[in-house]
Amino acid sequence: MAKKFQRKIEDFVCENCGAKVRGNGYTNHCPHCLWSKHVDINPGDRAAVCGGLMKPVDIEQKDGQYILIQRCQKCDHVRKNKTSPADDVKKIIELCQKK
Ligand SMILES: [Zn+2]
Ligand SMILES: [Zn+2]
């Protein structure tokens, strides 16, 4: 019996800007525009069925790390998402300056 191969790292195409994003296992948002898709209730569980686009609305700083706050355009669910080193710093700064 073949062992089922479980792939955790997923590549995806950003539905906001169309960029091809290479999954690295710890981010699920687009590093170019910081949008993502509402598919997780808890990060990685893919339990939400909403599928709406999550728009970056704010940035929080905690312990020297930037936390991205995203709101779903479909159901208004708000969630926090850690930024990753691959993210576009300019976009993060833009969001900080919007405050
Ligand atoms: Zn994008
Ligand atoms: Zn949603």
Q: Tell me what pLDDT residue 84 has.
A: 87
Say if pTM beats, i.e. exceeds, 0.85.
Answer: no
User: What are 73-84's pLDDT values in tens digits?
Assistant: 999 999 998 898
Given a cut of 80, whether residue 85 has pLDDT beyond it is: yes
Cα(71) to ligand 2 centroid in Å equals 8
Determine the Cα angle at 44 with ends 52 and 55, to 5°: 30
SS3 97: helix
Q: Tell me the per-residue pLDDT of 28-65, one tens digit each, with 9 for 90 and over.
A: 799 999 999 888 666 666 666 799 999 999 999 988 88
Task: For residue 53, give the ligand nearest its CA.
Answer: 2
CA–CA distance, 22 with 68 (Å, rounded to integer):
19
Residues 6+ apart with CB under 8 A from 65: 82, 83
Q: Quick one: which ligand is closest to 36's CA?
A: 1
